[in-house]
Amino acid sequence: MKSENILVIGGTGKTGSRVARNLTKLGHNVRVVGRKTAPSFDWENTDTYDAALKDMDRAYIVYYPDLAVPGSRDAITTLTKKALEAGLEKVVLLSGKGETEAEACEDIVANSGLNYTLVRASWFNQNFSEGAFLDFVQEGTVALPMPNAEIPFVDADDIADVVSKVLIDDTYNGQTITVTGPQKRTFKEVVDIMAEAASKHIQYVPITIEEFKDGMQKAGLPDSYVWLFGYLFKEVLGNPDNQDVSNDVAKVLGRPAKDFETYAQQTAATGIWTQVSVK
């Protein structure tokens, strides 16, 4: 296997950091870019795209904060055009399972003239340990909407392993890979699993989407972030057709996807859920 020059956009995030680590271990030359890197990359500043893409062979694309937000289509259009001009061989786009706006961005990539693979992911396990819901778990009360939604939570390690393989394996060109966990869980079920793994009292409290958004606004989070979570809860989790379990992780990796119990046991062993939340 030849060594590739691979760009990882969003390389400090949940999946990007893991993909960068995987590819480095495989002997590839990895360029992780973001606002504070050299060269820098800023989705809102298209002038930064060229330097990031220069001399790269392939790229993993993670749009921040999510492909559902306004502006994503224009940014993905510009990036893929510049990637084609820069001579990239292939891109892999991280997309959201059940997101109509994300699928529009998928179409842009598919029609860009680049070789590509699309990876659609369900909600991450790591939202509870590296993301928006960690404080809730540490405080012992996870107050979230959509109590009846059954979600096939997927582990970021599985996403990264899939991305790492399809990015360098051209047999997956033109394919859409859907990555989910092996079973569907409600928020109460995953909270109970985390509580048992951490040997800690953690309760799930169902609230409305508006109550959740109000809480985010009071916490000082940006309006775009508040809007995004409202969208994800209502439009994505609110449609049961979006929550089918996929076997694509096993098909690509030759092993089953990690279940939530295993994730919870591994995470609890780090002690992060018994730490005191610092605001």
**How confident is the model over 45-55, as a mean pLDDT?**
98
How far is C-alpha 148 from the geometric centre of its chain's CA atoms? 23
279: pLDDT strictly greater than 60: no
Structure tokens belonging to residue 142? 């996870």
Contacts of 169 (CB under 8 A, 6+ apart): none
36: pLDDT strictly greater than 60: yes
Predicted confidence (pLDDT) per residue in 236-277, tens digit: 898 887 889 999 999 999 999 999 999 999 999 999 999 976
Residue 219: per-residue pLDDT: 85
Residue 30: per-residue pLDDT: 98
Residue 1: per-residue pLDDT: 67
Question: In the sheet where 58-61 sits, what is the strand order?
Answer: 29-33, 5-9, 58-61, 90-96, 115-121, 176-179
Q: Are 9 and 59 in contact (CB under 8 A)?
A: yes
Q: How far is CA 228 from CA 167, 207, 222, in A?
A: 28, 17, 10
Residue reference for tokens 């059954």: 150
Beta bridge mates, 63: none
**How confident is the model over 141-154, as a mean pLDDT?**
96
Closest CA to 19 of 142, 162, 154, 138: 162
Answer positive or negative: Cα dihedral of 192, 153, 63, 101.
negative
User: What distance in Å separates the CA atoms of residue 230 and residue 210, rounded to the nearest whole number?
Assistant: 8
44: pLDDT strictly greater than 80: yes
Q: Are 167 and 92 in contact (CB under 8 A)?
A: yes
Residues in the chain, total: 279
Concatenated DSSP letters of the chain: ----EEEEETTTSHHHHHHHHHHHHTT-EEEEE-TTSSS--BTTBGGGHHHHHTT-SEEEE--SS-TTSTTHHHHHHHHHHHHHHTT--EEEEEEETT-HHHHHHHHHHHTSSSEEEEEEE--BGGGGTTSTTHHHHHHTEEEES-TT--B--B-HHHHHHHHHHHHH-GGGTT-EEEE--SS-B-HHHHHHHHHHHHTS--EEEE--HHHHHHHHHHTT--HHHHHHHHHIIIIIIT-GGGG----HHHHHHSSPPPPHHHHHHHHHTTTGGGSPP--
278: pLDDT strictly greater than 90: no
Domain 5-122+154-180+243-257, CATH among 1.20.120.80, 3.40.50.720, 3.30.70.100, 3.40.50.300: 3.40.50.720
Structure tokens belonging to residue 186? 């409600």
Predicted confidence (pLDDT) per residue in 75-127, tens digit: 999 999 999 999 999 999 999 988 888 999 999 999 999 999 999 999 999 99
Residue 224: per-residue pLDDT: 85
